[in-house]
């Protein structure tokens, strides 16, 4: 599948119907999701792999991983109505993904998800709840040796020091996250936030 084909398929998926600001429910735009997934696929982290999407929301990353040939995809999300959207989206895209309702903060999250080769995630940036991204980093490294995440530009030094001794950043790709006015506190119609797609490797993993 070509990058623009994947983008078009992801573009068609249903978005959040009543996004929760506290949970930072922003849909990952199709071009950004496709870019992350294509890059991960190029590095051999998707095809034939067991992939986990943490905080899957509408399921964009999980569904894209399945379309790119992941052997198995498991998607974790805390909010049940959102899981129903992800289910409809997976059916529409005609892919088989395992959707699980769970909190990434659950200390058993690695057992709930099962061991994976790769985690993909667009976690909350911590704009509403400070440090909301930390449990995602912890869970991701508990589940898989390789992690791709979308973060605010400038998070790099925080991530490196937070993960010291547990994981390291081995690649960073710049991108833009267009955020449409979703919540009443948003002033602009669309605001483009510079983001980074970061590949993390568990310390000691190849
Ligand atoms: N890739 C998703 C973007 C999701 S936004 C998409 O395009 O739809 C972040 C998601 O993380 C939200 O769906 C939110 O409900 C979920 N989330 C936030 N905190 C969580 C937690 N503690 N455990 C599991 N999911 C959580």
Q: Could you tell me the distance, in angstroms and rounded to a whole number, from the CA of residue 193 to the centre of ligand 1?
A: 18
Residue nearest to ligand 1 atom 15, measured at CA: 23
HSE-CB of 31 using CA atoms within 13 angstroms: 7
Tell me how far apart the alpha carbons of residues 53 and 136 are, in angstroms, rounded to a whole number.
11
Q: Could you tell me the distance, in angstroms and rounded to a whole number, from the CA of residue 26 to the centre of ligand 1?
A: 8
Q: Is residue 8 within a helix (H) or strand (E), and if so which, with residue range?
A: helix 3-11
Closest CA to 142 of 123, 161, 116: 116
167 CB-near residues (< 8 Å, 6+ apart): 137, 141, 147, 200, 201, 202, 203
Query: Is residue 103 lining ligand 1, measured as CB closer than 6 Å?
Result: yes
Q: What is the pLDDT of residue 127?
A: 65
Find out whether 10 and 60 touch, Cβ atoms under 8 Å.
yes
Query: Residue 64 — φ and ψ, nearest 5°?
Result: -60, -40
Query: Is residue 58 lining ligand 1, measured as CB closer than 6 Å?
Result: yes
The 10s digit of each residue's pLDDT in 23-59 is 888 889 999 999 999 999 999 999 999 999 999 999 9
Q: Is the pLDDT at 126 greater than 90, yes or no?
A: no
- Tokens representing 37 are 């997934």
Q: What is the pLDDT of residue 118?
A: 98
Q: Is the pLDDT at 128 greater than 70, yes or no?
A: no
Find out whether 110 and 139 touch, Cβ atoms under 8 Å.
yes
HSE-CB of 63 using CA atoms within 13 angstroms: 29
Which residue out of 10, 13, 23, 29 has the highest number of ligand 1 atoms within 8 Å of its CB and is therefore the one to mutate?
Answer: 23
pTM recorded for the entire structure: 0.94
Q: What is the pLDDT of residue 15?
A: 94
The domains found in the chain, sorted by start residue, are 3-202 (3.40.50.150)
What integer best gives the mean pLDDT of the chain? 93
Q: Is the pLDDT at 133 greater than 80, yes or no?
A: yes
58: burial class by Cβ within 10 Å (0-12, 13-18, 19+)?
Answer: buried
Mean pLDDT (whole number) for 138-162: 94
């Amino acid at each position: 599948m070509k990058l623009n084909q994947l983008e078009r398929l992801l573009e068609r998926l249903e978005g959040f119907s009543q996004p929760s600001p506290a949970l930072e429910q922003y849909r990952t735009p199709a071009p950004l999701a496709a870019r992350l997934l294509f890059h991960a696929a190029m590095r051999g982290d998707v095809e034939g792999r067991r992939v986990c999407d943490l905080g899957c929301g509408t399921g964009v990353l999980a569904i894209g991983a399945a379309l790119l040939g992941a052997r198995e995809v498991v998607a974790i999300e805390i909010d049940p109505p959102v899981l129903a959207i992800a289910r409809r989206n997976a059916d529409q895209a005609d892919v088989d993904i395992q959707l699980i309702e769970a909190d990434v903060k659950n200390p058993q999250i690695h057992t709930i998800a099962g061991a994976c080769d790769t985690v993909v995630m667009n976690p909350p940036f911590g704009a509403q709840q400070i440090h909301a991204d930390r449990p995602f980093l912890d869970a991701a490294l508990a589940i898989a040796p390789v992690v791709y995440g979308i973060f605010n530009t400038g998070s790099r030094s925080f991530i490196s020091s937070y993960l010291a001794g547990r994981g390291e950043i081995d690649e960073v790709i710049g991108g833009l996250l267009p955020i449409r006015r979703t919540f009443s506190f948003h002033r602009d119609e669309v605001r483009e936030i510079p983001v980074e797609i970061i590949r993390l490797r568990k310390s000691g993993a190849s």
